[in-house]
Amino acid sequence: MRKKEVTTRLSRVFIVLSTWSTCSEADLMNHHTIFRVIGELIRGRKFAQQLEALLRKSPETDDIDGSGMTSAQVLVNKILDSYNQSLSNISSGESDVVSEVPAVDSPFLDGRRKSDDSGESCKTSVRKDRRGCYKRRRTSETCIRETSTWIDDGHAWRKYGQKPILNATHPRSYFRCTHRFDQRCQATKHVQKIQDDPPKFRTTYYDNHTCNNLSKSSQVIIMDPTAGDNSSKIIWNFESQIKPDYEPNDQVKQENKEQVQDFPHNKSGWPDYIISPDHLTTFDQTSGPLTAFSSGSDRGDVISSDIYSCTASTHSMEMDHMIVGSVFGDEFLEY
DNA sequence: TGAATTTGACCGTC
DNA sequence: GACGGTCAAATTCA
């Protein structure tokens, strides 16, 4: 196979990827879909690496297999098949996407608390201010993530409180969606540093985002396992428009101030949808299991490699320490 | 100067 | 009464 033909076929791979990038974020909420998609993409990458090595070894003359196709052609077809399978998985997963955090019995209504109407709380309505008027949330509607970095899920959050927690060395920060009032988005999250060395953060999400605004493009940064610096990050953009000169908006900048202070490695300004090299290596080598694999509760736009747990009133998902496996061709992948 | 964060106070739940 | 979640005035930031 000539290099030109290989280049042409690889360009088709990128077209497939571009098509995939236009899939809605809701499609990506399904965990199984994400697992399979990631597995397919990694498999494709493996084939691409083999193809690269093959071309480096024999750029013009190629081996011919029994089907009459060159090895490079076979590999390119496998790559295309891998990405097409990914698209197929996304499409098939669309029908069974289930909200992880059902938005039932939200403590808020129309930007105000339900309790305001019910009169269960805030009995002293003559009060001038409304401090402390709340109902304690139901613990059953949460998604919990434990990450090694201050995660940025792409949504714009506004910090509204911070409290020292009993038996905790670090205070808990309280965030609500920036679009709480303009779009009635009731999503909130609590972030607490639970460990210093190595740093570990626990983020608890409450309620789904109902806003349409992602403050940042939904991207996944996959760290190249073969490189140690940030120069080889692979950026996966789930939006239809790529923004190469992206800079985080002010809201996110401000939110991430603490993060930047704590973690100097994350100064790139890119969102933190990072699949670490270790975990990619795990996928490739099919050796040790991933601790866990996650997708965030926020419209499925988070993919990271940290511990993740979801609970909901209608169903529950406990993914902590869960090992999930799938068969991809002749490979068994453990998540 | 507007927006975001900080921080003390308030209040419901346990 | 302790604890945790939220409010909102004060403060800080861009």
* Distance, CA of A158 to CA of A189 (rounded, Å): 10
A41 and A189 both lie in a single domain: no
Q: What is the mean pLDDT of residues A118-124?
A: 35
Is residue A153 domain-resident?
A: yes
* Distance, CA of A76 to CA of A84 (rounded, Å): 12
A172 and A257 both lie in a single domain: yes
Comparing A131 with A271, the larger pLDDT belongs to A131
Q: In Å, how far are A28, A76, A88, A98, A304 from A94, measured between CA atoms? A: 8, 27, 10, 9, 21
Within window 215-234 on A, which residues have Cβ closer than 7 Å to strand C?
none
Query: Band of the pLDDT at A289, cuts 50, 70, 90?
Result: very low
pLDDT at res. A155 = 81
Quick: pLDDT tens for A58-94.
654 554 445 455 666 666 666 655 555 554 444 344 3
Is residue A125 domain-resident?
A: no
pLDDT at res. A174 = 92
Nucleotides of B under 7 A from a protein CB: 3-14
* Distance, CA of A155 to CA of A157 (rounded, Å): 6
A243 and A328 both lie in a single domain: yes
Look up tokens 């309790």; give the residue: A115
Q: With 0-12 CB in 10 A as exposed, 13-18 as middle and 19+ as buried, what is A238?
A: buried
Q: In Å, how far are A45, A55, A72, A198, A298 from A146, measured between CA atoms? A: 28, 42, 42, 12, 15
Query: Band of the pLDDT at A209, cuts 50, 70, 90?
Result: confident
Interatomic separation, CA of residue A85 and C1' of nucleotide B9, rounded (Å) = 56
Comparing A251 with A310, the larger pLDDT belongs to A310
Is residue A261 domain-resident?
A: yes
Query: Band of the pLDDT at A50, cuts 50, 70, 90?
Result: confident
Is residue A124 domain-resident?
A: no
pLDDT at res. A168 = 86
Q: Number of structural domains, chain A?
A: 2
Which residue's CA is nearest to the C1' of nucleotide C14? Answer: A250
Tokens of A20: 């995939």
A10 and A69 both lie in a single domain: yes
Is residue A49 domain-resident?
A: yes
A190 Cβ contacts chain C strand, under 7 Å = yes
> Which one, of A162, A158, A163, lies nearest residue A176 by Cα?
A158
Q: What is the mean pLDDT of residues A284-305?
A: 35
Look up tokens 């709340």; give the residue: A134
Mean pLDDT of chain A: 52
A188 and A53 both lie in a single domain: no
Nearest-5° angle of CA A234, CA A100, CA A177? 75
Q: What is the 3-state secondary structure (H, E, C) of A27-90?
A: HHHCHHHHHHHHHHHHHHHHHHHHHHHHHHHCCCCCCECCCCCEHHHHHHHHHHHHHHHHHHHH
A300 and A220 both lie in a single domain: yes
Which domain, by its residues, includes A36?
A: 3-96
Nucleotides of C under 7 A from a protein CB: 2-9, 13-14
Interatomic separation, CA of residue A93 and C1' of nucleotide B1, rounded (Å) = 49
Percent over 70 (pLDDT), chain A: 21
Interatomic separation, CA of residue A108 and C1' of nucleotide C4, rounded (Å) = 18
A151 and A83 both lie in a single domain: no
Interatomic separation, CA of residue A296 and C1' of nucleotide B10, rounded (Å) = 33
A65 and A207 both lie in a single domain: no
A251 Cβ contacts chain B strand, under 7 Å = yes
The answer, yes or no, to whether residue A242 has pLDDT greater than 70, is: no
Is residue A126 domain-resident?
A: no
Quick: pLDDT tens for A25-46.
444 444 444 555 566 666 666 6
A22 and A171 both lie in a single domain: no
Is residue A123 domain-resident?
A: no
A196 and A296 both lie in a single domain: yes
pLDDT at res. A104 = 34
Within window 108-127 on A, which residues have Cβ closer than 7 Å to strand B?
120-124, 127
Comparing A135 with A292, the larger pLDDT belongs to A135
Q: In Å, how far are A73, A75, A114, A127, A252 from A8, measured between CA atoms? A: 11, 14, 59, 71, 39
A113 and A73 both lie in a single domain: no
Within window 125-154 on A, which residues have Cβ closer than 7 Å to strand B?
127, 131-136
Is residue A19 domain-resident?
A: yes
pLDDT at res. A306 = 55
Which residue's CA is nearest to the C1' of nucleotide C6? Answer: A132
Tokens of A335: 């998540």
Residue A115's nearest nucleotide, by CA–C1', is: B12
Contact by Cβ (8 Å): A106, A81: no
Q: What is the mean pLDDT of residues A18-25?
A: 42
pLDDT at res. A173 = 92
A150 and A13 both lie in a single domain: no
Within window 204-233 on A, which residues have Cβ closer than 7 Å to strand B?
none
